[in-house]
Structure 1
């Protein structure tokens, strides 16, 4: 497997520094985003040579269990906040897009455009993201087999973009539950694209609390450590300073203590696996 993907001032390569996508699920406010970026930056700093950190937060959570749930500030305000994070902390940023028309304006700020799991087969959305020239992070649908994730990657490449990535986030298992097929990580590596492990969405319980999703944040670090042993290229972790009060995905977001404790363990497992 071979890839070389420029991310900010650094490059993601096989066996190089982990890609670390970390930030709050939703942009709750400018102050919260900037505060979270500062707190995450402090915790990543001791391992800067081991992790290539990308700040993540969504300007719109279009897929919610209930129509009454908070969705975020919207594209214009959200991009302004992400741009401020990017400039003040010198960190690349990632955010989701849900509609093809969003790709171009979002690409003016975001270094990585993320395709939500439920939309990973939407051809027009993939092509629009690819044509911006930005990195395209394709979340694996909960309904998609690992061996079928090569098809979205090919769509991005055929649009002239060599910077597609795949993120595993679990597979639907009955009602309100997800499981991870770790063997699927090995399968997806064959497509020649970075394989990222979503440690927080894989422990989500979709719709498990009725109007909202539940989650088991306490097992997210264990899921991430298992993925490290399998040799993934990076990790996706949603992090919040008070996840029980978060406006979105609180039950599966890591608190700062869990996040800080996880980083050196991921590094140690990788070294042991080598």
Structure 2
């Protein structure tokens, strides 16, 4: 089966080819209460709007600027909480991996292995992820074009795995900003894989002198609407009930209370585009 056809096996009864799908959740596993709260609210919204939903939370954040930044509650502990959330709310799940050694470990707990943007060229990591047989979502490096992501796709296919997703997450613009080139959405779709727009990390403002990445969450809606208008298959949105208190990436996360209204707007845009 092709990567797009494989989405049916991921979402099962949730599958809806007429709508975009959503990957959403807090940046990192903080505790069970947070994961359950976010999963319950987002899954309820998505069921009402008929949006296939994947729950996301990173069990470990290895790519922090400062050594003092929160990186996780422990690998097994974090993965166990992600898996538990998926089972309780009957959702597919995803989390980042950062090395080839993590692939098999994480694959025992989640449905999709996410490859961080800075690691999208790591051959051993991509092959190890592909060999698990799980879905592999590769975020486009901030330093790469959409065309160049064909090599990441080829590496995973070399492992015999066709369950591939690609995510656009902006392009480096100077030292402390990113821009989104929406041409990358149709360009990456030419690789015959579903393409996702990361609406939150594309608004990061990296390399801050404080050692904590900044962001511009007021533009999340703009990024998401433009992505749906240009044909994105899915959206990635990190969300939190109180981003100001989030332990990671709070500066570019969407407040959980704002998600429902945004998704309602996006469904209407999707319907208009399909017509």
TM range (shorter): over 0.9
1:7 paired with 2:13, answer: no
Worse-matched range after superposition: 100-109 or 135-144 = 100-109
Q: CA deviation at 1:101?
A: 1.1
Q: CA deviation at 1:207?
A: 2.7
In 1, the alpha carbon distance for the partners of 2:83 and 2:255 equals 24
Maintained 8 Å contact 1:138/1:166: yes
Q: CA deviation at 1:39?
A: 2.0
**Alignment correspondent of 2:191:** 191
In 2, the alpha carbon distance for the partners of 1:173 and 1:153 equals 25
1:8-66 Cα deviation digits (max 9, x unpaired): 424768x533221000001011221112212222222211x2x1100000011111110
In 2, the alpha carbon distance for the partners of 1:155 and 1:192 equals 14
Instruction: Give the count of matched residue pairs.
Output: 271
Unaligned runs of 5+ in 2: none
Maintained 8 Å contact 1:221/1:258: no
**Alignment correspondent of 2:240:** 240
Q: CA deviation at 1:167?
A: 0.2
1:19 paired with 2:35, answer: no
Residue pairs, 1:244-259, within 5 angstroms: 244-259=244-259
Maintained 8 Å contact 2:243/2:254: yes
Q: CA deviation at 1:91?
A: 0.6
In 1, the alpha carbon distance for the partners of 2:127 and 2:32 equals 31
TM norm structure 2 = 0.95
1:199-243 Cα deviation digits (max 9, x unpaired): 011111113362100111111111100010001100000010000
Unaligned runs of 5+ in 1: none
CA RMSD of aligned residues (A): 1.5
* Secondary structure of residue in 2 paired with 1:67: coil
TM norm structure 1 = 0.95
1:123-176 Cα deviation digits (max 9, x unpaired): 000000000110000000001111101110111111100011100000000011
In 1, the alpha carbon distance for the partners of 2:208 and 2:155 equals 33
In 2, the alpha carbon distance for the partners of 1:134 and 1:127 equals 12
Maintained 8 Å contact 2:3/2:162: no
**Alignment correspondent of 1:52:** 52
Q: CA deviation at 1:99?
A: 1.1
Residue pairs, 1:1-274, within 5 angstroms: 3-5=4-6, 6-10=9-13, 15-47=17-49, 49=50, 51-208=51-208, 210-274=210-274
* Secondary structure of residue in 2 paired with 1:63: coil
In 1, the alpha carbon distance for the partners of 2:117 and 2:156 equals 15
Shift >3 Å, 4+ stretches: 10-13
